[in-house]
Structure 1
Amino acid sequence: MSTSNRPERVGQEIQAAMGRMLTRGELKDPRIGYITITGVKVSPDLKTARIYYSMMGSEQERKETHKGLEAAKGFIRRQITEAVNMRVSPEVFFTFDESLERGDRIERLLREVKEKEGG
């Protein structure tokens, strides 16, 4: 078996496991808002996983959600290790994914330009 795409496959499984946790309401911290897991990057040695998430809301709501995710890190690690059937529990890092927000902002700007041009 080739190990070159294993981190990618494990990342997809972690993303699915996180999605299931969120859908089932397993993360009980009230600070965690409605988030979407946009991707997971796993290191080649499978020891670290960077989980990218996105959400709508104010900067304060984002900070609170990040604090909630950090507080739930141990629980999330255990759940991921069990769901993905890994021997070693990966260190988990959460990163806010700004790409959706940036795309929305670009879309709004393009619409404004079109309206100003009378299109």
Structure 2
Amino acid sequence: MESKRQQKVGRQIQKDLGEIFQKDANHLTQGSFVTITAVRVTPDLGIARAYLSFLPDKNKQILLETIQDNTKFIRQKLADRVRHQLRIIPHLQFYIDDTAEYAAKMDLLFSNIVIPPADPEESQEASN
């Protein structure tokens, strides 16, 4: 369970990272639209784990590797934005957010479930 401080710092980092990817680091994304879906911060505020979603979905792993290779640049841009709010700029870790893919997979599984109709005799016996 994250504390209110962790949640507040996470939301601020999420907002700032979104702006950084739109304005300052758009050369890293090779024309893809990057969405920061969530940021989880450790209790000591030393590490921020950012979950990224890419549109279009092609080459997600290559884009993630490019972003991870340029973490120092992104952290510096983040430091320029939050230096007056945070004493220590957290180290950034980037992950691919696969929530949408997981939800689509679960929807497909549920749609393929065949539920046989209830037997009328059994339902009358259960109600008695």
Q: TM-score range by the shorter chain?
A: 0.7 to 0.9
Once the two structures are superposed, the pairs formed by residues 6-85 of structure 1 within 5 Å of their partners are 6-24=5-23, 26-31=25-30, 33-55=32-54, 56-58=56-58, 61-85=59-83
CA 1:62/1:95 → structure 2, altered by over 3 Å: closer, same or farther?
same
Q: Identify unmatched segments of 5+ residues in structure 1.
A: none
**1:57 Cα deviation from its structure 2 partner:** 1.8
Name the % identity.
26
- TM, length-normalised to structure 1: 0.76
User: Which structure has more RCO (C-alpha within 8 Å, separation ≥ 6)?
Assistant: 1
Q: RMSD of aligned C-alpha atoms?
A: 2.4
AA matched with 2:79: T
Q: What's the offset of the Cα at 1:80? A: 1.6
Query: Which structure's CA Rg is the greater one?
Result: 2
Q: Residue 78 of structure 1 aligns to a residue in which SS?
A: helix
Distance apart, 1:27 and its partner CA: 3.3
Q: Which amino acid aligns with 2:64?
A: H
Question: Matched residue pairs, number?
Answer: 110
Assess if the C-alpha contact under 8 Å between 2:35 and 2:52 holds in 1.
yes
8 A contact 1:10–1:84 mirrored in 2: no
SS of match in other structure, 1:27? coil
Unpaired segments of 5 or more residues in structure 2?
116-128
Cα distance change, pair 25–106 in 1 and its aligned pair in 2 (3 A) = farther
- 2:98 and 2:23 mapped to 1: Cα distance? 25
